[in-house]
Every structure is written in C-alpha cells, then in structure tokens.
Structure 1
Amino acid sequence: MRRFVKDNALSLFFLLAFLAALVGQSIAGTADYNATQLSDGGEPVSWPAYVTSSDFAVDVAENWQSEYLQFLLFIMVTVWLVQRGSPESKKPGEEGAQSDQEQKVGPHARPSSPAWAKTRGLRQSVFSNSLGLVMGLVFLLSWLAQSVAGTAAYNNRQLAQLQDPVSWGAYVASADFWSRTLQNWQSEFLAVLSMVVLSVYLRQRGSPESKPVGAPHATTGEEN
C-alpha cells in the first residue's frame, strides 16, 4: 500500500482535492440556493435535493467542459505551434506529428512499448491520438450535460417567474448559455497563456513543469 501511494501520490492528491472541492461546492451551493429561495418566498431544499438538481449539475458540468476544452486545445495545438523558451513547448523546428522513428511506433517500437504502438493501421492510429480523442469526448459529453442541465435550470426560473419555458436549442443559442460558457473559457485560456509565457522567464525548482533554475530563458522544451 505504501508503494502504491508513493507511486501514485500526484494523482491521489488531486483526486482528494477534487472531491473536497466538489463537496465544498455542494455545501456552499445549497446554502446559496436556499438563501435565494427564501428571499424569493420559496422553500429551502435539503442537501441531497440540491446535489441532484439541475442547478448543481449545470455548475459542475460547465466547469468540467471548460477544463477539458483547455487540455484538448493545448494537447492539439502544441503539435504544430511552439513558444520559444517555454518548457511547455517543443523546440522550434520540431513542429508536426514527427516520424515513426521519433515516436517509437511500428518497426521502431521498443520491447516495452504499448502493444498498440507496435501495430500498424487503425489500432496504431487510434492509440497515437487516444489522449486527444478521450479529452475531446469528455469535453463534448460535459458540454452536452451542461446544455441539458442548463436548459432545465433556466426553465425552472422561467416557470417560477410565470414565463414560458424554452427548448434545448433555444437555450443553447441564448445569451445565458454563452455568458456562462465564455466566462469559463476565457479564464482557462488565460491560465494556459500565463503558464506558457511565465515559464519562459520564471522557475520553480524541482518542478517538471519548470526549466532548471540555471537554464537560459531561450531554452525551449527542457524540463527538470
């Protein structure tokens, strides 16, 4: 067990942090929702009722879809785009998907390489793009969940105000949906931009996300 925890400490830390933040969000969200309910003359709800509501689902889903969009775009654009001096980038001149030899696939695979990296055709193609495919799938599913839950939450507010509900298509085209979506996207893009640019000039000793402290600013793609 100690070996397992040590070997997986990074993922375990972020899993626990994620769960703690999700629980905290649900508790704070219940309190905020009930405060709004009371101010509007409605009835407060229990914690289980809130966490199974469309209001909680849309808040969670819209954060998930923006996070996975961030990673999807970063994974894909770093294949072709570079930032000189950033450890988050390939070196200038190395743009592109690279050769089979550089990627160690097919006849260039090592004995310890994943089984699908040693194959040819569809399986190798799928495995070669599996990270982007999974990130893209999770993004699309969480975006769909956001849109469906958002439609339900929006219609609940409409009915409470004695107004007509809207269809899923109408909500996806609405200002409410895109306001919620874009406020998440812009923060994710700013975070990636900050990481790419600041890592050119700033260091964090011992972190694999940083260049060695003594590395020149122009050094690209080098990590601790």
Structure 2
Amino acid sequence: MWKRNGLSLVLLMLTLVFIVGQAVAGHHVHNQELVEYGRAPIDLWHYLATGHFVSATFENWESEFLQMGMYVLLTVSLRQRGSAESRPLDPAQEQNRVEPGPTPWPVRRGGP
C-alpha cells in the first residue's frame, strides 16, 4: 500500500497535521483575544465553528505556491498508482511503453 499510494498518504498526513496545528494555535490566540475584551474563553470544539478558525484556515490554503512546491518535491521521491505526475511503480513498465504510431496527416500538416 505504501509503495503504490505513498504520495497520497504523505499529503493526507501533512494536511491533517497542519490543520490540527492551525486549530490549536488559532484556539490559543482566539482565547487570548477574548480575554483581552473581557469575555470568557471557549473550548476547542466551539472554536472550530468560529469565523476566526475558518478565516485563518482559508488564508493558509491560499498559499498555493508553497503547496505546489511541496507537491513537486514530494513527487520526486513518492509514487502514486495511476497518477500521470508519478513515475511508474515498476521499472519494467518503463520498458513496456508503447511507441506512438504514425502521425495522421492533418497533424503533420499543421494548422493555418
């Protein structure tokens, strides 16, 4: 399972770790802000339903350059069965590649 789905497993694990970290850190900051305004702190489960958590989570997910960079780095070493971005799982698959057939004349001729 690890060899065939390593990329998905690592990305899922990292996503869960970062969301939990976001929730714990955001909960701490949100409670500090509530205390500053003279309100009672809330527990973690109630924090997960606040706009503060949702807003902070979406702001972090906007960092698509970081996400794409991590994805590229992970695809170098991890593999995913059926993924076009992943290297073949079996080195013999590389040798069994089907060579493309003859190119149709409209393709050879090109566009206008």
For residue 24 of structure 2, what is the amino acid of its counterpart?
I
Match of 2:18 in 1: 21
For 2:64 and 2:10, the matched residues in 1 are separated by: 18
Unaligned stretches of 5+ in structure 2?
Answer: 69-99, 104-112
In the TM superposition, 1:46-195 aligns within 5 A as: 46-67=43-64, 71=68
Alpha-carbon distance, 1:49 to partner: 1.0
For the aligned residues, what is the CA RMSD?
A: 2.3
Q: Deviation digits for residues 61-103 of structure 1, max 9, x if unmatched?
A: 12223317x85xxxxxxxxxxxxxxxxxxxxxxxxxxxxxxxx
Q: Quick check: 1:31 aligned with 2:33?
A: no
For 1:5 and 1:53, the matched residues in 2 are separated by: 36
For 1:66 and 1:17, the matched residues in 2 are separated by: 15
For 1:54 and 1:16, the matched residues in 2 are separated by: 25
Alpha-carbon distance, 1:45 to partner: 0.8
The TM-score, its normalising length taken from structure 2, stands at 0.54
Structure of greater relative contact order (alpha carbons < 8 Å, 6+ residues apart): 2
What is the number of residues matched between the two proteins? Answer: 70
The TM-score, its normalising length taken from structure 1, stands at 0.28
Q: Deviation digits for residues 149-191 of structure 1, max 9, x if unmatched?
A: xxxxxxxxxxxxxxxxxxxxxxxxxxxxxxxxxxxxxxxxxxx
Structure 1 outlier segments of 4+, above 6 Å? none
Alpha-carbon distance, 1:60 to partner: 0.8
For 2:35 and 2:16, the matched residues in 1 are separated by: 29
Alpha-carbon distance, 1:20 to partner: 1.0
Pick aligned residue for 2:2 from 1, 5, 10: 5
Alpha-carbon distance, 1:53 to partner: 0.8
Alpha-carbon distance, 1:36 to partner: 1.4
